Amino acid sequence: MSKSVLLEKIEECRKEMISLSDTHDLTSEVVVASSTKLDKLINEYQNYA
């Protein structure tokens, strides 16, 4: 996956997490799952060779 695709996925996931947090508690399962997904994408981006 290219760096630009990763950035797009990060942005999509970030928007999704913000949207979910508008309708769910921050500690809800769906928001935490989205946050975890975002963390993984950011880590992948940071470790991109």
pLDDT tens digit sequence for 1-47:
899 999 999 999 999 999 999 999 999 999 999 999 999 999 999 99
Whether the CB-CB separation of 13 and 31 falls below 8 Å is answered with: no
* Confidence (pLDDT) at 40: 98
Does position 49 have pLDDT exceeding 80, yes or no? no
Residue 1's pLDDT is what?
Answer: 84
Q: What is the pTM of this model?
A: 0.90
DSSP secondary structure letter of residue 2:
-
Domain ranges of the chain: 3-46
Q: Are 48 and 3 in contact (CB under 8 A)?
A: yes
**Which pLDDT value is given to residue 25?**
97
Residue whose tokens read 């990060």: 10
